[in-house]
Each structure stands twice: as C-alpha cells, then as structure tokens.
Amino acid sequence: MKQQLLRTAYHEAGHAVASHLVGIRTKRVTIKPQVGSLGHHETWSFLTADERLALESSGRSEFGATKALRKVINRGIILLAGGYAEKVFTGKYNRIGATADIDSYHDFIERLFPDDKERRSFDRWIRRRTEMLVENSWWRVDAIAQALCERTTLKGDEIREVLWKTVEKRIQLPSTDLTVS
C-alpha cells in the first residue's frame, strides 16, 4: 500500500512540476483515490474557445493557432510527465496507471496532426522534451511527492511554496566559521 501511494505521489508530482515549469497554473494535485484513479492533477483551462477554433480551422502558422499550439505542446508535456516521473521513481513504466493521461495525449495529437509521419515526429520530440524536463527537475518532483505524502492534497499556491522552499534549501551556502583561534 505504501509503495502504491509513493508511486502515485511521484506520478502526480511529475504533472504538477511540469505544469509549474511550462507556466500553466495548477488548481490542485492530490493522491486521494477517486473512482477510476489513484490521484489527480487539475489545471486551469488551457485553451480559450478562440484558440481551439484557430487550431482546428486553420493552418498552424496563423498567430492564434501558433499560440494555441504552444499551449498544446505544454499540455502534452504535462500529461506525459506524470508517467515518466513514476518511471524514474520505480524503474519501470506503468502503462495502466498512465492510461487516462496517454489517452488524452493521443486524442489531441491525433486531431492536431492528421498526418501519421508528422504525428510520430511530434510524439518523439515531445516525449524527449518531457524526459529532459523531469530528469533536470527531479529535485522538484521529489519535493512535491514528499509534500503529497505528508498532506495528500496541494493547491497551486502550496505547490509554489514547496518549490520555493526547496530552491532556498538548494542555494544555501554552507556557513563558514570566521572565528580566529
């Protein structure tokens, strides 16, 4: 049971840290089991109706579509970061635990890239970016996962507080003893 809770905490922490780093605000993240999931990460809406329309009805080079595409890339990173963080923690990928994330990710990249070759290229690129983000921010993921194990639920401002305190600890220099003997 404790191992499952830890895996869930690292999974959800991956989502929360990715969200923080790409600039999409988190409403809350929890490791309280709900029907159909062991945890949940919730963000504020990431595409406006106008951006969704621009993305679906035009070439991706138009301003509205370009802005929306950037948000979709960020959303893809957030969706994939949970499963990848869990993989880093456990040493193996949990396809069952990441099913809803993977389904959501595939749904929107299939709509965005109808061409199979283009979609596969995008998929490889976004997965590599996600891996790099999680690996380079592992200390952040670890801090959020530990906080989730203590509190079970964190709101957006609490996530930022945990991350800020973690940064403060990381940049503290060792004290030097300046007394002369």
pTM flag (> 0.75): yes
pLDDT at 103 over 60: yes
Q: Using alpha carbons, select from 156, 148, 163 the residue that is nearest to residue 38.
A: 148
14-45 pLDDT, tens digit each: 999 999 999 888 999 999 988 777 888 888 66
pLDDT at 104 over 80: yes
Confidence of residue 54 (pLDDT cuts 50, 70, 90): low
Pairing label, strands 153-155, 26-30: antiparallel
Q: Which domains does the chain have, with CATH numbers?
A: 2-171 (1.20.58.760)
How many of the other CB atoms lie within 10 Å of CB of 23? 9
65-99 pLDDT, tens digit each: 577 778 788 989 999 999 999 999 999 888 777 88
110-128 pLDDT, tens digit each: 877 888 999 999 999 999 9
